[in-house]
Structure 1
Amino acid sequence: MTKSDDIKLASTAHRERTSAVSPLPQDVARDVDVAMALFDSPEQIHAPIDPVEEQKLVRKIDFMILPYLAVCYAFFYIDKTTLSYAAIFGIREDLKLTGADYNWLSSVFYFGFLFWAFPTNFLMQRRYLGGNIFLWGFFLMLQAAAKNFGQLLVLRFLAGAAEACADPSFMLITSMWYTRKQQPVRMGLWYTANGFGIALGGLLGYAIGSIKGALPSWKYEFLIIGALCSSWGIVMFIFLPDSPVTAKGLSRAEKRMAVQRLRENQTGIENKHLKAYQVKEAFLDIKIYLFFILGTVCNVPNGGISNFGTLIIQGFGFSQLGTTLLQIPYGVLIAISILIVGPFFYLTGQAPYYELGIWSMIVSHFIEVFIIATFWFLLKRENNRRDKTQGATEGGLEGRDLDTTAFADMTDRENPNFRYIY
């Protein structure tokens, strides 16, 4: 079957399903978004949505989704900074870490993240996400039992692999529940928890560092933070809804409205059928490489500061507990302002000022600005091209058949009705 035939099948399947003529053949039905199962007639799909009822639904969805993602994202950052707190609580001395050992422990987390990032995108489900959050907390707790560099290195790698599903899962969940115009604000809300995670991590670090027990403070850091992460993974496993189609907290009418309001996205809700030509298309799209570069330069400062931030502050002469407390205003500032090689820029010989590490952050942020400007230019140009092409056809832009492509499994390139948000 050719690519064009596959696209026609998806569109035909959509029309047949909404016309309620007959059940779809299995090979065709798999190309139709699962959201179509909610509709029994064309009238239901095209029925107007009451703005007041939609607003109530959005508020309900906000309470169903955002708190889980926000708390999880806070743990997401706290988890990555545990090694940083462990460093000021004596882990380097206790495990006899020398030379670049600490740098490797910082980076191997991201190696594990990269190793499992591709397969994890094919396995993402609600229960998969909750299970991985539980596992990353579990591997974090096990780090308290590490007796040497090698054991800690393996556990850091496994923790990174378990966390690889976090960002893509959050993006996917947000896109399944909100219109594209609503997504940036909602992503900003759960991403803001990153800053609160830093602040909370500082507060927890201070509390944990004050424990006078039989174990070194850095072991309590891993045990307590890991236990909290695993507990939250269980909560998400049980309570976070899979999608608008299966959410137990919504009535059938609310589910239909949740799906109807996403037609304008032109991205569908969910389809688990992997198409080889779409994978090929992704790798031939320049945007994927721009995103890769953007992700790299974003995480050079992120990977460095999350693991060396406390060491830099302690280098100014602050005590262990004072250093942990100073993370709180830093985290709050990040939360308010929100709209992997990194650790190796922090050379041991440059402690405590780490000149190369600081410059790596500055240069990375300049590159970020350039990449974002490039994205703006490319996306604006493509939107204008599509408007011009469709505007020249019979019926013009106003005559587009949005319903035909709204829930068909098409990529942004395949779907002529898709428009980029920038």
Structure 2
Amino acid sequence: MEANNPTSEKVEVEQLQNVAKNDLETSGVETGSDRAIGSFVDVDEKKVLRKMDMRLIPMLAALYLLSFLDRGNIGNAKIEGLQEDLNMTPGQYNWCLTVFFFTYAAFEVPSNLLLKKLRPSRWLPLIMVCWGVVMTLMGLVQSFQGLVVARLFLGVTEAGLFPGVAYYLTLWYCRHEIQFRQALFFSAASVAGAFSGLLAFGISKMDGVGGLAGWRWIFILEGIATVLVAASAFFFLFDFPETATFLTEEERAFVIHRLKYQGQVQLLADGTANQAQVAQAEEFKWKYVWQAFTDWQIWVNIFVYWSIVCPLYGISLFLPSIIKSLHYTSSTAQLMTVPIYVVAAILAVITAWFSDRVGKRSPFIIGFLFMMILGYGMCIGSSNPKVVYGGIFLVACAIYPSFPGNITWLCNNLSGSYKRSAGMAIQIGVGNLGGAMASNFYRQVDAPRYVLGHGLELGFISIGIVASVILIVSYHTINKKRDQKLANGEAAHYTPQELSEMGDRAVTFRYMF
């Protein structure tokens, strides 16, 4: 069912209400009243969504802003003298970037499983305090070896935030409205890019204060800021809709209801309602994790993820150096990164709104991948600083809208709470190994053209386009087969519990593309 079809939405809501009532009655649960089972005639859905947006998104965006700021500020520190002060070769500097992603990728799946079992309002701030301490201490390292160890620990402590928050949002919002919220949250990365340049420009003026170089103060002050925000997050984060104090009892029931029954009812060929799959199993079983590891779509989607994340980290880690290599001063290079990220953030939010509105993900993703090809083509094809800057501008403006779209596309097509948790962590964890690759794309010996780095980015983008087409064709084929099976009454062969445990492999589930 398309998210933008008012008629089908009305039919679906009526069906869901009947299914919920029948499900509760047959299970022996005391319903109390019609409103308790899903009529919710007095609930203003838009008001509830605004409440959730105001209470959840700003704090989550602040957490991710600091996360992206802390992992990427090494690029700002580099042009302020980090490499020279620690007597590092260009190869050693690239290794400092690379090792972060090894531990970052390894700890994402365990962290997401812990997030589901523990309280998000405790787990997320806790890991944030840990990485804030690591970031602060990074400002005191005295050698290449010390910086490597610090980056390894930064990967461990930061691993749980992005996949955790991306999954956490799916516990609050339905799949036809999630990309807009993912984009609001992820746009913090764009703001972090702009903020990083401004901060580095200001903090670098502290060079010599306390006997410390300016690049050290970048790490120290941004690390302290992370710890302070983490301390406040303990009091401002909420766990799950069931316990949200900012919602009334009726609103909490409504949010739980709409999440539990979203997208699980399909119309049969004769127009009657299929009431087979009505809920997702919530009890943890290792088979849900295994289902995620063996799901073909996750591994194909990872290639799409790489086509976006490789340019993302290439830009975030090397943009100041690339601009400086165009013969701008360090301070000018820091400031010239700001407008790129601001425009990218705005475009990400606008694109997400349209994507949710039309209920499509892939057309926007593929369109922006072609936009990246154009941008990198400009960078490779010209040595004119203005043309190169324009090409980088295009690339960044394509990366930031496509990234939340890709994350949302997969989470829309994973059904079952624990499978979705593990699947998103696999996508982001393995996908972020692309960051390890991208951190070695841009070598100092290739400056100022960086033809090798730009060329490798183009290769990954091309692979991503092919993977996107494979997903689209596969989803379309599977949906058509399930439509036929549903019309033939195959859903009647399964109990609701069996269909529930099958998740997105059930005949009642439809992939979004």
TM-score by length of 2: 0.70
Structure 1 range deviating more: 107-116 or 266-275: 266-275
Query: Partner of 1:222 in structure 2?
Result: 219
Compared CA separation, residues 407 and 378, structure 1 to 2 (3 A) = closer
Query: Partner of 1:27 in structure 2?
Result: none
Matched, 1:418 2:425: no
Q: Distance in 2 between the 1:223 and 1:268 partners?
A: 48
Query: Partner of 1:180 in structure 2?
Result: 175
Matching residue's letter, 1:140 = M
Displacement of 1:172 in angstroms is: 1.4
C-alpha contact (below 8 Å) 1:271/1:409 kept by paired residues: no
Query: Partner of 2:28 in structure 1?
Result: 21
Matched, 1:310 2:406: no
- Give per-residue Cα distances to partners, 1:39-97, cap 9 Å, x unaligned: 75584554323386111111111111111122222222212221001101111011111
Q: Which of 292, 296, 304 lines up with 2:302 in the alignment?
A: 292
Matching residue's letter, 1:321 = S
Q: Distance in 2 between the 1:115 and 1:224 partners?
A: 28
Partner secondary structure for residue 177 of structure 1 = coil
Matched, 1:191 2:186: yes
Q: Distance in 1 between the 2:33 and 2:452 partners?
A: 62
Q: Which of 286, 293, 307 lines up with 1:275 in the alignment?
A: 286
Matching residue's letter, 1:411 = G
Matched, 1:113 2:204: no
Q: Which of 119, 137, 146 lines up with 1:142 in the alignment?
A: 137
- Give per-residue Cα distances to partners, 1:198-242, cap 9 Å, x unaligned: 111111111111224131011110011111222222222222111
Displacement of 1:269 in angstroms is: 7.8
Query: Partner of 1:163 in structure 2?
Result: 158
Which aligned pairs between 1:34-183 and structure 2 lie closer than 5 A? Answer: 40=31, 43-44=34-35, 46-50=37-41, 53-124=44-115, 125-126=119-120, 127-183=122-178
Matching residue's letter, 2:28 = V
Query: Partner of 1:257 in structure 2?
Result: 254
Q: Distance in 1 between the 2:498 and 2:176 partners?
A: 16
Partner secondary structure for residue 44 of structure 2 = helix
Query: Partner of 2:448 in structure 1?
Result: 352
Query: Partner of 1:329 in structure 2?
Result: 339
C-alpha contact (below 8 Å) 1:90/1:218 kept by paired residues: yes
Q: Distance in 2 between the 1:421 and 1:241 partners?
A: 29
Displacement of 1:349 in angstroms is: 1.7
Matching residue's letter, 1:342 = A
Matching residue's letter, 1:391 = A
Structure 1 range deviating more: 260-269 or 187-196: 260-269
Matched, 1:390 2:486: yes
Which aligned pairs between 1:194-213 and structure 2 lie closer than 5 A? Answer: 194-212=189-207, 213=209
Q: Distance in 1 between the 2:103 and 2:231 partners?
A: 22
- Give per-residue Cα distances to partners, 1:168-198, cap 9 Å, x unaligned: 2122121111111011111122122221111
Q: Which of 477, 497, 501 lines up with 1:381 in the alignment?
A: 477
Structure 1 range deviating more: 41-50 or 136-145: 41-50
Q: Distance in 2 between the 1:202 and 1:18 partners?
A: 59
Q: Distance in 2 between the 1:48 and 1:21 partners?
A: 19
Q: Distance in 1 between the 2:338 and 2:462 partners?
A: 26
Partner secondary structure for residue 241 of structure 1 = coil
Q: Percentage identity across aligned positions? A: 26
Partner secondary structure for residue 210 of structure 1 = helix
- Give per-residue Cα distances to partners, 1:114-169, cap 9 Å, x unaligned: 12122212111411112112211211111011111111101111111211112221
C-alpha contact (below 8 Å) 1:199/1:329 kept by paired residues: yes
Q: Distance in 1 between the 2:321 and 2:222 partners?
A: 20
Compared CA separation, residues 310 and 268, structure 1 to 2 (3 A) = farther
Partner secondary structure for residue 89 of structure 1 = coil
Matching residue's letter, 1:224 = L
Q: Distance in 2 between the 1:66 and 1:270 partners?
A: 27
Q: Distance in 2 between the 1:264 and 1:383 partners?
A: 17
Q: Distance in 2 between the 1:370 and 1:76 partners?
A: 31
Q: Distance in 1 between the 2:493 and 2:338 partners?
A: 51
Q: Distance in 1 between the 2:282 and 2:161 partners?
A: 20
Q: Distance in 1 between the 2:263 and 2:42 partners?
A: 17
C-alpha contact (below 8 Å) 1:180/1:421 kept by paired residues: no
C-alpha contact (below 8 Å) 1:18/1:41 kept by paired residues: no
Q: Distance in 2 between the 1:60 and 1:217 partners?
A: 42
- Give per-residue Cα distances to partners, 1:350-388, cap 9 Å, x unaligned: 123321111122222222222222222222222222222
Q: Distance in 1 between the 2:444 and 2:42 partners?
A: 59
Compared CA separation, residues 102 and 185, structure 1 to 2 (3 A) = same
Displacement of 1:17 in angstroms is: 6.2
Displacement of 1:300 in angstroms is: 2.0
- Give per-residue Cα distances to partners, 1:333-361, cap 9 Å, x unaligned: 22133232111121232123321111122
Partner secondary structure for residue 75 of structure 2 = helix
Matching residue's letter, 1:70 = A
Q: Distance in 2 between the 1:129 and 1:74 partners?
A: 14
Displacement of 1:315 in angstroms is: 0.9
Compared CA separation, residues 99 and 172, structure 1 to 2 (3 A) = closer
C-alpha contact (below 8 Å) 2:65/2:192 kept by paired residues: yes
C-alpha contact (below 8 Å) 2:280/2:503 kept by paired residues: no
C-alpha contact (below 8 Å) 1:80/1:306 kept by paired residues: no
